[in-house]
Structure 1
Amino acid sequence: MAFDIDKNGVAAQRTKGQRSVWVHPTLPLRHKYGEYHRLVQELKLDGAKFKVYFRLITQQFEDLLSMVGPSITKMETNYRETISPAQRLCIYIGDSYHPIAFNYKIGHSTVAVIVQSVSRSIWDCLVPQFMPTPAAEDWKEIVEDFHRLWAFRNCCVAIYGKHVIIQAPIVLLAVVDSHWRFRVVDVGAFDRSSDGGTLQGEQRAFNIRLSHARKTVECAFGILTTQWRLYRRIIGVSPGVAEDVVKATCILHNFLRWKASDEEVNECQANVPAEAQPAIQHLLRMGSNSASREALSLRATYITYFSLPAGAVPWQYTAV
């Protein structure tokens, strides 16, 4: 607690953290000097610069705004003007809290509230369309695509996890289809872990084929981390906020790539590995190091199939 001295010399108790002013003098200048009202409006006139700044083209931004805008719109009051949905979305997509607060002439605490609320709205509004529960026909299509694009039969998804680095690291476990789209994500903490790694042994051809198919999930993580600036630094927020933000970036990843063509898939855009970003690192293998009998049997079946003329591809031996 802090204290003030009144005119009679009596100590008056003052609540710790009490505001000295209701609104900081620089904040009312938002419309004149704030980044949204100046730079962002200029960027809208230049599509190339807009994409460099926001990592979305103008039409994608407008489409996203039309989907989440109603849920992030706040009611005007007689006491202060609300921040528009478009500006809230710009704040969410932008840089870290402090630069955004200074550049947009908005309080730091307001930025924090906006980021979490927009993250939740993006997830809630986009999941039904861009991460729906796959139906039986969807799984069949994914299996066919894995065979056509990645030469791996009877594979419906690639599963992998990454540590998202905050003060108490959380795990992003993702199920990715043949077009690098997240089909299922689980964000949170996992208790057990052991040394990570890949299969060891003499069956190198199988490892090459497996690694080739698993490239889908590695590409997805690589694109995710290079697309969004938050992964370029250790994320300095609470685990709850981090979960909301990570889930929102995953669904935005799908939003931007939902109709990716085979040509786009074959030209992997993930030139920077996910581990090059400070906020995301390899996940140690979860649980036991010993595989089940069913898993060992399935692995043996694939090894045999890949060694037969019907299942082999020329590059698996060249790579070995």
Structure 2
Amino acid sequence: MNSTTFGELLALVTPYIQKKDTILREAISPKQRLFATLRYLASGLTFEGLKFETAIAAQTLGHIIIETCEAIIKVLKKYLKLPQSENEWRNEAEAFARKWNFPHCLGAIDGKHVKIFKPPGTGSYYFNYKHSFSIVLMGIVNANYEFLMVDVGANGRVSDGGVFSNTAFCKKLVEKDLCIPEPENLTSTNIKLPYVFVGDDAFPLMENLMKPFSKKTLSNEEMIYNYRVSRSRRIIENAFGILASRFRILLNEINLCPEKAVIIVLTCCHLHNFLRHYKVESYYQGGIDVENINSGEVANADWRADPTLLQLQALRGRNTTTVAKQIRAQFCNYFNTVGAVPWQNKIFQQ
């Protein structure tokens, strides 16, 4: 974060974190409080480790950082929100089609486990499939690597399909309560298809949620479809990768109660969008995969060489509606006919 962006953020949070001096001691300034919080999030240092950099007692840091995180979430809430109208959703879809060649796509969805210390008296409640304790971060990212929605706090023990189905977003998606436009013709065609999100095998195939074909033997057409979905999903892989590489606290076991860990994760997501909005180049530098459409090769982002967040498990034995399968088949046909891109057949040469 550069000094200009730090100053912008400081001006926003100061009214919520400024304290008065007392007769006994001078209050810790908003600038010190914000610096300590950002350093904690970015470095992954413990409160004990951070006290030497900030000259603030570890116990005091524990109070300051949570309070400042709550203020950050409050003042940055406008940077992380779902579209509120059909036209806003269409704008997201147009950006997706323009940048990622996937029409009627509203965003990419994925989830990650964030490790925490085992909370006292919780048994195996937060125990995940990789034998660690965690809470789940579920997110949707738009074509510009910005989070449209995050849902944080499901316990790591819940099956990954259960995590998604229990989110407020999923319930609204099923109940058609998100202001998503009705199915429309794809541009310059008479092919009517719904607006959709794209996910991987951790998510169910739904009318408004497309995922790859997962059977062992795939036709060439299905392989092309899978490539187009995977290409579109790369944005959320990169968003999570950047998030974890810039906010190293997410790669450690967070030694806080689950409720405070949720605040930490939400703060990181809001800061991610804030920095994206202000186009802070150092934040994204080296953080995005680059595809050479002439050769079909992908140059991996720097974060892929580092530790990253734990992926959700693939769903097994999930019933899928006939309508959802038909919609996927229509997208598959589109990507292999009028919606084909010149470089997609290069996947067969790799």
The 5 A counterparts of 1:300-311 are 300-308=329-337, 310-311=338-339
Aligned partner of residue 157 in structure 1, secondary structure: strand
State which of 131, 139, 162 in structure 1 corresponds to 2:80: 131
- Please, which moves more after superposition, 148-157 or 92-101? 92-101
Mapped to 1, the partners of 2:31 and 2:284 lie a distance apart of 31
Aligned in 2, Cα 1:286/1:235: closer, same or farther, shift over 3 Å? farther
Selected match of 2:159 from 192, 196, 213: 192
Give the match's secondary structure for 2:149: strand
- 1:262-312 alpha-carbon deviations (Å, 9 max, x no partner): xx999853624469436x21012468633333321221111111111x200
Matched residue of 2:61: which SS? helix
The equivalent residue for 1:222 is 241
Alignment correspondent of 2:147: 182
Alignment correspondent of 2:3: 58
Which residue does the alignment assign to 1:294?
323
Name which one, 1 or 2, has greater alpha-carbon Rg: 1
Q: Which of 58, 66, 74 pairs up with 1:108?
A: 58
Which residue matches 1:243? 262
Superposition map of 1:1-150 within 5 A: 56-94=1-39, 95=43, 96=45, 97-128=47-78, 130-136=79-85, 137-150=87-100
- The aligned residue for residue 207 of structure 2 is none
CA pair 288-243 structure 1, distance change in 2 beyond 3 A = farther
TM-score (norm 2): 0.68
Contact residue 69 and residue 264 of structure 2 kept, 8 A: yes
The 2-side partners of 1:286 and 1:221 are apart by 20
Structure 1 portions without partners, runs of 5+: 1-55
The total of aligned residue pairs comes to 260
Render the CA deviation track for 1:86-145: whole Å, top value 9, x for unaligned.
0001100114211211222211111111111111110011102x1134132221111001
Other-structure match for 2:178? none
CA distance in 1, matches of 2:23, 2:213: 64
- For residue 307 of structure 1, what is the amino acid of its counterpart? N
Judge conservation of contact 1:163–1:283 (CA < 8 Å) in 2.
yes
Indicate the residue corresponding to 1:257 in structure 2.
276
Give me the whole-angstrom Cα distance separating, in 1, the residues matched to 2:15 and 2:3.
Answer: 19
SS in 1 for 2:240: helix
Q: In structure 1, what residue type is equivalent to 2:27?
A: T
Structure with bigger RCO (C-alpha 8 Å, 6+ apart): 2
Cα distance in 2 between the residues matched to 1:267 and 1:86: 29
Match of 1:209 in 2: 228
Q: In the aligned structure 2, how far is the partner of 1:83 from the partner of 1:267?
A: 36
Structure 1 residues 284 and 276: alpha-carbon distance in aligned structure 2, compared to 1, 3 A threshold: farther
Which residue of structure 2 aligns with residue 20 of structure 1?
Answer: none
Q: Structure 2 unaligned runs (5+)? A: 118-132, 162-200, 204-211, 290-300
Residue in 2 aligned with 1:277? 307
C-alpha separation between the residues in 1 aligned to 2:306 and 2:268?
18
CA contact under 8 A between 1:179 and 1:265: conserved in structure 2? no
